[in-house]
Structure 1
Amino acid sequence: MLSQAASRLGFDVVILDPEENSPAGRVSRGQIVAAYDDPTALTVLGRVCDVVTFEFENVPAASAEQLAGGGALVAPGPTALSTAQDRVLEKTFLNAVGATTVDFVAVDTLEDLTAALETLGTPALLKTRRDGYDGKGQVWIKTAKQAAKAFAEIGGRPAILEARADFTRELSIIAARGHDGAVAVYPLGQNHHANGVLATTLAPAQVDAATTARAREIAEAILEGLDYVGVIGVELFDLGGGDLLVNEIAPRVHNTGHWTQDGCLCDQFEQHIRAIAGWPLGPTEAHAQVEMTNLLGDDVDQWPALAAEPNARLHLYGKAEARPGRKMAHVNRVSRLA
């Protein structure tokens, strides 16, 4: 979807992906088939591209650093990527810029976990520090007696223990920052997760002025703190009364921003390309109400019925295998703004 947006703006796109005939490669000018940390492939990519970006945060930060060190313009920069890849570094950064999170403790051993549970109490959420996404690499601990089992479930890896957040709903904000420091912010979305995976986003969310203002303040602080260029997704816990906690950040276009494809004149994908290419940022106002629903695994087989819905816009990802829980597509159901 990023490549398609870039093509519409007149750019040629080259994809680096280890999968031959990848979904992104099939809609791009060319593809380099290699691992994300292949030094030769990275050198070639940096030489043929005026700007390099990434679309998920599990690309090695060292790869971004190699590209930047070789003179390539990488946006967002390596710092944003490395910060988002480590949950302890991420939460430490967020609190430092005034984007408050739940209380947390770094955990390296079972003894650390036992001590952390005494500090934070239960229930608490244990997550691997790195590589977890869509509910993977995390487990709830309801009593201290479950510590050993929980630590074994995440493979005894370096982790973070997070206190439970007493929130009323989950929100998210999609924002962008250009090379010149200009910032554009989309309306908030309200999210529903099932089994740790985003199920739906309703946007624009019904929020008061205080909540909107605080969310924008948080997004701007994060963007400035990382000297960020591009689109970012910020997941939030709404505590009510304009009080928000940051759950996590995503240094990329984000699943909770897919509604913008059919709800805004300039969607998050075009906005990201505009930002990294040095173009003026586009408008972010919503012209429609959108409910975005993820299609996981075999859900994608519903595509004929979904394509027949008059107010639905179906976005298929072109992935070859519909594995259980894998994001295969999404559908945006569009209605008039209230």
Structure 2
Amino acid sequence: MMTFPLAPGSTIGILGGGQLGRMLALAAARLGLDVVIYTPDEDSPASRVVRETLVAPYDEPVSLAAFARLCDVVTYEFENVPAATVDSLIALGADVAPGPKALAVAQDRVSEKTYLNSVGAPTVAFAAIDAPADIPAAAQALGHPCLLKTRREGYDGKGQTWIEKLADEAAAYQTIGAKPAILEARADFVRELSVIAARGRDGETAIYPLGENHHEGGVLRRTVAPAAADQALFDQAERIALQIMDGLDYVGVIGVELFQLADGQLLVNEIAPRVHNTGHWTQDGCAVDQFEQHIRAIAGWPLGSTAALARVEMLNLLGEEVDTWPKLAADPDARLHLYGKRETVPGRKMAHVNRMRGPL
């Protein structure tokens, strides 16, 4: 049985080798912790900054057993890691944080919204869609336009389509790949916000200032933080985050995406049981960033300060935009974070830049 807090020199295991795993590993290194990555991908961004990498499928039992032996605690950098992988690691005696309940909730959009409503975190109205025949009645109840999304997977605008009118219903199911889906009512929001929150092993919590997010084509383009918000709005977001984390007995950092309605009410769009793109601004804008905070939480350390030190605008660099790195590196107001990806693909997140926008 692992004893917490983990001492410096202990080993953090991370499922996934992408940029979030890379930034988590760098944060762990600053705290004197070693990292082992488990990923099916050769030469992943995270693998080049860690002590060791196991390259194997997520369902390979011998490699999973070796991973469990190497690690004092295991976490994940993306929520679509197979649930069976986490179950196998727990059966092998590994401590996995966040736990399997958070993963199960986040992997299925119907389960997610059902859970959120059960703990008092409001969402748009929705209906489960198991077959094309379910769409007409659900769309009539929710009203047009409504949004059809796959229940599982899908990110950055993928796996979803708007049903603007009755005539669109027949083709919508095929458009998303003929998969089990969720139909969501349209949210009449005035802006998109997010809150990054953390919960430790002892129930200690820490909440970051709100970020205001702007998307293009379903992909996060930029986040401005701290967002202009009064105390009542922040208190509402904090209450929602705490209800979500307490209900999951959560350990780690979580991202909660929110819609702000015209009357000031917040609705939860979705949650991510991991560090989150909308929290990247904390790397240069907060006393303790989201990556260090996650490592602190899963290692059983005290949580760090979430105080904002400056106003920050985070901009994602997609595809060939990363080629502007020399100019960005010369900008005294820019803090460049390159992900170390070998191949530039149009629309792919290659880096982000945090621009300092002055004192609070």
TM-score interval w.r.t. the shorter chain? over 0.9
Output the CA distance in 1 between the equivalents of 2:199 and 2:231: 22
Alignment of structure 1 residues 54-133 onto 2, 5 Å: 54-133=76-155
Deviation at 1:264, TM superposition (A): 0.6
Output the CA distance in 2 between the equivalents of 1:225 and 1:275: 17
Deviation at 1:242, TM superposition (A): 3.7
Deviations 1:185-214 (Å, cap 9, x if unpaired)? 000000000000000000000001111000
Q: Structure 2 unaligned segments of length 5 or more: list them.
A: 1-22
Indicate the residue corresponding to 1:307 in structure 2.
Answer: 329
Deviation at 1:37, TM superposition (A): 2.3
Indicate the residue corresponding to 1:324 in structure 2.
Answer: 346
Deviation at 1:241, TM superposition (A): 4.3
| 2:256 alignment partner, SS class | strand
| 1:52 alignment partner, SS class | strand
Check conservation: 1:52, 1:72, Cα contact below 8 A. Answer: yes
Deviation at 1:70, TM superposition (A): 1.6
Output the CA distance in 2 between the equivalents of 1:66 and 1:36: 10
Matched, 1:41 2:63: yes
Matched, 1:168 2:199: no
Q: Which of 227, 238, 244 matches 1:222?
A: 244
Deviation at 1:119, TM superposition (A): 0.9
How many matched pairs?
A: 338
Indicate the residue corresponding to 1:249 in structure 2.
Answer: 271
| 2:26 alignment partner, SS class | helix
For 1:253, give the aligned amino acid. Answer: V
Identical-pair percentage:
66
Output the CA distance in 2 between the equivalents of 1:58 and 1:310: 37
Output the CA distance in 1 between the equivalents of 2:325 and 2:152: 34
Indicate the residue corresponding to 1:140 in structure 2.
Answer: 162
For 1:15, give the aligned amino acid. Answer: I
Deviations 1:285-327 (Å, cap 9, x if unpaired)? 1000000000011111111111111110000000111111111
Alignment of structure 1 residues 148-297 onto 2, 5 Å: 148-297=170-319
Output the CA distance in 2 between the equivalents of 1:37 and 1:320: 26
Output the CA distance in 1 between the equivalents of 2:209 and 2:160: 29
Check conservation: 1:64, 1:78, Cα contact below 8 A. Answer: yes
| 1:150 alignment partner, SS class | helix
For 1:87, give the aligned amino acid. Answer: R
Deviation at 1:21, TM superposition (A): 1.9
Deviation at 1:33, TM superposition (A): 0.5
Deviation at 1:54, TM superposition (A): 0.3
Indicate the residue corresponding to 1:13 in structure 2.
Answer: 35
Q: Which range is displaced more, 31-40 or 151-160?
A: 31-40
Output the CA distance in 2 between the equivalents of 1:240 and 1:205: 16
Output the CA distance in 2 between the equivalents of 1:238 and 1:42: 42
For 1:148, give the aligned amino acid. Answer: A
Output the CA distance in 2 between the equivalents of 1:37 and 1:318: 26
Check conservation: 1:233, 1:254, Cα contact below 8 A. Answer: yes
Check conservation: 1:292, 1:333, Cα contact below 8 A. Answer: yes
Check conservation: 1:210, 1:241, Cα contact below 8 A. Answer: no
| 1:126 alignment partner, SS class | strand
Deviation at 1:88, TM superposition (A): 0.1
Output the CA distance in 2 between the equivalents of 1:295 and 1:150: 31
Output the CA distance in 2 between the equivalents of 1:124 and 1:200: 25
Deviations 1:87-118 (Å, cap 9, x if unpaired)? 00000000000000000000011110111111
Check conservation: 1:210, 1:242, Cα contact below 8 A. Answer: no
Check conservation: 1:214, 1:242, Cα contact below 8 A. Answer: no
| 1:22 alignment partner, SS class | coil
For 1:165, give the aligned amino acid. Answer: A
Q: Which range is displaced more, 286-295 or 318-327?
A: 318-327
For 2:186, give the aligned amino acid. Answer: R
Deviations 1:211-233 (Å, cap 9, x if unpaired)? 10000000000000111000000
For 1:90, give the aligned amino acid. Answer: E
